[in-house]
Amino acid sequence: MHPFAPTIQILGKGRHGSRSLTQDEARVAMGMILDGAVTPEQIGAFLMLIRVREETPEEAAGFVQAVRERIVLPENMFTPTIDPLIDWGSYAGKRRHLPWFLLAARLLAQHGLPVFMHGDTGEAADRLYTQNALAALDMPVVQSFSEAHAYLASSNFAYLPLTAFAPGIKRLIQLRDLLGLRSPVHSVARMLNPLSAPLSVHGIFHRGYEHIHQRAACLLGEPAVLVFKGEGGEAEINPEMSTALFISHAQEGGQLDWTPQLERRQLKPEQLDPDHLRAVWNGERNDIYGEAAVIATLAAVLFALGRAQDQAQASALAQSWWEAR
């Protein structure tokens, strides 16, 4: 029997015989996949068996552990100037609105709060991916942890593509077009926090996954995690809707309702032009939705950082940062 076959048996033995993987079983299984010890047929069966019932927090945590064990960081990666670091995954791309969260990240960096962003570009022609929007804002896309460290130290921001530090996860994500469904690795990528930042920010698309991210963070011993259903699946508050923030600190999780920033819905743009982000930042154009999205997103992160006691205080602080930019 192939060494990976027992893992598939655990997941697929039918209604009464199957069960979820333990955290350690999930860690070993993902490790075998990343090490090339599993056949393509087995990978497809494995991912889809989990997809049918959704991954458990224990499985997600085990998968993340396996990836982290294979990430190689340069020695002396951190200096006192790069603290507290904010980890920010960006994997969905935007279809309805521009990535306004990038301006929230820029404001954090401007105020001495370094943001390490990591993400991926997909093949969807109707989506604007973060990496493609950063050039309009002169925000750096780097190709290694060493390069990220240099930019974090000098400008408090760096974006590193997934292919530069976890190519195995990139290959698994690409299977979506072949299998037709998302798989657990889409959540795993957001949870990676490869630099062990004190705060990790996750945006999700499918409601209900907040609990998986929050519980997995506790199992992994993450210092603090902010998870919410963001606009388009990115970590961006939709200012037209109420948003449930799921926050965990020191292995204790809670939920907070973030009320809408806008009273009325705004017309969505006919096209997504990244240059519009720069124009709004520079005060050359106004955008009611965009500015509200920036302030609401920034406020949520400031609250998660403990810089404010409630939404009103966090929003006031975010508003003052925006006006003083």
CATH number, domain of 128, equals 3.40.1030.10
Same domain, 157 and 204: yes
pLDDT of residue 263: 87
Domain boundary among 69, 99, 118: 69
How far is Cα 202 from Cα 56, in angstroms, rounded to an integer? 17
Same domain, 25 and 136: no
Same domain, 179 and 204: yes
How far is Cα 23 from Cα 208, in angstroms, rounded to an integer? 20
80 band by pLDDT with thresholds 50, 70 and 90: low
pLDDT of residue 32: 98
Answer whether residue 36 is part of any domain: yes
Answer whether residue 75 is part of any domain: no
Same domain, 62 and 116: no
pLDDT of residue 273: 96
For 164, half-sphere exposure in the C-beta direction (CA atoms, 13 angstrom radius) is: 20
Same domain, 124 and 16: no
Domain boundary among 23, 41, 69: 69
C-beta of residue 93 within 8 angstroms of C-beta of residue 129 = yes
How far is Cα 91 from Cα 205, in angstroms, rounded to an integer? 10
**Residue 101, class by beta-carbon neighbours within 10 Å (0-12 exposed, 13-18 middle, 19+ buried)?**
buried
Same domain, 29 and 152: no
Among 46-60, 79-93, 190-204, 273-287, which stretch is predicted with the lowest mean pLDDT? 79-93
Same domain, 209 and 261: yes
Counts of helices then strands in the chain (DSSP H, E): 14, 7
Residue 12's identity, in one-letter code, is: G
Domain boundary among 16, 41, 69: 69
Residue 182 has pLDDT above 90, yes or no: no
CATH number, domain of 30, equals 1.20.970.10
- List the one residue out of 142, 248, 163 whose CA is nearest residue 200: 248
End-to-end CA distance of the chain: 62
Answer whether residue 77 is part of any domain: no
pLDDT of residue 62: 98
pLDDT of residue 77: 75
Range of 163's domain? 86-323
Same domain, 55 and 94: no
C-beta of residue 98 within 8 angstroms of C-beta of residue 128 = yes
Domain count for the chain, please give it: 2
Residue 208 has pLDDT above 70, yes or no: yes
204 band by pLDDT with thresholds 50, 70 and 90: very high
Cα torsion through 69, 63, 102, 272, rounded to 10 = 130
Answer whether residue 76 is part of any domain: no
pLDDT (tens digit, 9 = 90+) per residue, 304-322?
999 999 999 999 999 999 9
pLDDT (tens digit, 9 = 90+) per residue, 99-114?
999 999 999 999 999 9
Residue 239 has pLDDT above 80, yes or no: yes
Question: How is residue 75 annotated by DSSP?
Answer: T
Q: 């966090």: which residue's tokens?
A: 314
